[in-house]
Each structure stands twice: as structure tokens, then as C-alpha cells.
Structure 1
């Protein structure tokens, strides 16, 4: 699937929930995150993960190929008073100095990369003993819940291949193939963690969150996005009138170390 998230930058920034604070607390507990680290966030998008790292005292560089997303990321960082160096570059060829970082992160984006090339690049960027974190924060489709109904509606407007995160995550938000990517690149001490959280979304917020997804705003023409959004609003009103909604999510993270 080809998706242009630059088209969804506004919805992405306004409605798409970033990683919860409990995710960063877990990284601290695992010894991955501490103040003063030099970190680079690949596929940074609107900078949700990069801002979390900066709040925890890291010196952060955020990279992405979409200039609209980077412009939004810069604005959001400025509004929070955070200093983050955002640059346009692909994850596979960052043009950053070898061994310049102690932490490389990739949140909600690994499935969009040339994964073997990105893993090799992450290894090159890290100092010996540096850490790679590949993380996801996925909504969960469960029988009868609003996510299942929303995904069915998406498929009526944009049938075809599953979104990559669903395919690689086996619909459960767990990513065993990322172990292969990291191990083949030369990373060691691979481990992972996952936990579930519920995220409250108003009807308006959930509609915006879904518009920001790859199979809606990232790939449909604007007129079809508008028709989808109208149908989505009707679905929520008829079948899921409670407002706000409680949307189940799963956090998953792979941790790997450069020898």
C-alpha cells in the first residue's frame, strides 16, 4: 500500500493519540531511556515519540520524508517549548554520522520502511551498547467493538490489502518479524514488552483519528474521505452513541542492542 501521510498532517496532529506516558516509564525501567541521551527518531511523523523523548531529557533528532509532517512536528514542539532537530531524510539513508546516537527509535512506522536497510542504518548510527526501540501503539479490533465496525466500514470504501500494521501485527499488535530484522542486522540482546491501555475518544476525535489512517486520508481522494467520514459519523451515532468512546490499544516494543 502507498500512503501519503502528509495529506493527513492536520488530523494526525490533532486526533491521533501518541504513545502514553506509561510507555516512556517502561523504557526508563528497562534502562533504555534516561536524561542526556542522544536520540534519533526515524519516521518521526508529527513527532509524538520525539517529543516524549525530549520531555525525558534526551537530545533528539527527528527524521521523516514528509515535509508537511515535519512542519507540523516543528510547530507542536515549539508550542511545548521543546528543542528538537527535525530533518527530512529516509530511515534507510539518514545521512547522519556513524555512531552519533545512543538511542534509535521508530514508532508506528517500521512496516513502511525497507526494513533490512533501516535495521542496518540503525546499527550504523548507534554507539556500541546503544539501543534500538521499534514501537507500536495500535487500536485493537475485538468482536462487536467500535474498532471492528470502523474497520469494516473502511473496507467498504477502500477494499484491498490490509493495512501493513494489521498484516505484520497479525491483528493483535504484536510483531515477531521485527526480531528477524534486528537480528539479521547484527543486533543482540533482543527482548520485547507489551501492555494494553484504553484511550478515550470523542466521536469527533475518533472520526479524525480514522481519517488520519493509511486506508482513509492517506490514500483516498478528498471527496471519498468526506463521504467516508459522513458514513462513519452515522455509524457511530446509530451503533455506538456513547461519547466519549473507550478505544482499546496495545503497546508493543522491541528492544535491541548494538554489540
Structure 2
């Protein structure tokens, strides 16, 4: 994948990081999903489409809420991991290999759509009208994002600095608390119903934090294998010097809920 507004156009491929992604990216605490669960957006009787599902983190995390989930992702390696993890846990989730913008589901197929950690990768001009069509009247599009805060958490800050030494083009750095920006493309089709920004402390061990960092876009999805191994050695040494065996990392979460307009506004 190559997008001009991400990593200064440097290509990346989530498929290359799928094994690490499957092992180390299921890190979201229950509080992260609270804006969805407290509104019953993934509850019994609801049909939910998870866009950019990756290894199926969101549908697997919320499966016990009772919804029927469908997850789509353009990377076949991610879908293979998602199916394997769901099968391991006895979860019946329909995973399909497709870009969000190319979904061909019938009109009114879903009550809820979700996008976790992937909103920035979409072609919003194409997705907004298609998603409006696939959602039922009154349907909700929930966009979720979580990021570490490098300016406030020393372990996150030093890990991020190491990523940038290996991949100066990476633009996933320097995060600060902010609501999710909704492109104007959604205006005719959706109305902002709610937005939240809140802090989370996420527990890690040295091993799991190293895996989490290696599975990020700036490392595992972008660097050649030999450079990933070089980074891995340096990062393990760094963590041995600065972090206890168990620690938590300060993150912020942002959730925006968009309600489908009954009629498109011109």
C-alpha cells in the first residue's frame, strides 16, 4: 500500500506484519470499547460490518456482546490470521478479503459499521456513499483509535525515537490527544452523533511491548526483514535498560460515532 499522505509516500504492507499483528496487537482494554458497548451497538440482533478488520481484533473482542459480525480487509494474510484466531476461540465470524471501498453488500445489510485503527487509510469520497447505502436507516458508523503518548510516557517516547532512527519517513509519531477528524466527504451522508477522547493505561511486559512496536506500520509493515531484525535487537536492549519486566504505557483513545442521515444532503 502506498498513500501520499502517510509516511511521505513510503510503501507499507500489513501482510508482512500479520504474524506479529496477530500475536501482539490484541491490546485494547474493555474501556476502549465502552462507547460502543454502553449503547448496545454490537448487541444481540445487530449486524455489524468491521472495515479494515486486520486480524479481527474488534469483532473478536466484542463477539460476546451478541452481534453477528462481518469483517473485511484487503490483506489476505490478515484475513487468514483473523479466521485462524476466530476458529481457535470457537467464534463464528464472516471474514472476507476486500477493501472497504469495494464492499458489495446489499442495501441496508448492517445496523453498525466499525473502523478501528484504520480510518486514515480509506478513500473517504468512495466509502461514504457506499457505507450509507449498506447501513440501515439510523445506522451508526463507529470510528475508533488508540495511540501511545510519547511526550508523556518515557518508554513510549524512547521506543518511538528508535523507530524514527530506522524509518525517518514514518509519520505515525508525535501523537497528542485529539478527536478523530471527520473528512467533509461524510457530511452529506452522516451526522456526528458523539465524540469522546479519554486516557487509558495499557499493561505490557518487555516482550509484549517489543512485539507491539515491531507490529507497527513503521517497523514490521515497512522495513525489510533484515532491518526489522536489526531494530528488534536494538529495541530489546533499550527496554532492558529503561523498563521493568512489567509496566504500563499511557495511551489516549478517541471514538467518533456517525449516524446515517435518512437522506443524502446535497
Match of 1:65 among 64, 74, 87: 74
Q: Structure 1 121/173 Cα, relative in aligned 2: closer, same or farther at 3 Å?
A: farther
Alignment correspondent of 2:209: 206
1:123 and 2:127 correspond: no
Unaligned runs of 5+ in 2: 1-6, 262-266
**Alignment length, in residue pairs?**
252
Kept after mapping to 2: 8 A contact 1:37/1:102: yes
Deviation at 1:73, TM superposition (A): 0.4
Alignment correspondent of 2:113: 104
Unaligned runs of 5+ in 1: none
Deviation at 1:132, TM superposition (A): 0.4
TM-score when normalising by structure 1 = 0.91
Kept after mapping to 2: 8 A contact 1:46/1:73: yes
Deviation at 1:243, TM superposition (A): 1.2
Deviation at 1:179, TM superposition (A): 5.8
Q: Structure 1 87/144 Cα, relative in aligned 2: closer, same or farther at 3 Å?
A: closer
Deviation at 1:46, TM superposition (A): 0.3
Distance in 2 (alpha carbons) for counterparts of 1:157 and 1:123: 41
SS of residue paired to 2:216: coil
User: Once superposed, what is the RMSD of the aligned Cα atoms?
Assistant: 1.7
SS of residue paired to 2:256: strand
Alignment correspondent of 1:195: 198
Deviations 1:138-172 (A, max 9, x none): 12212461111111111111112412xx5xxx712
SS of residue paired to 2:100: coil
Kept after mapping to 1: 8 A contact 2:179/2:196: no
SS of residue paired to 1:178: coil
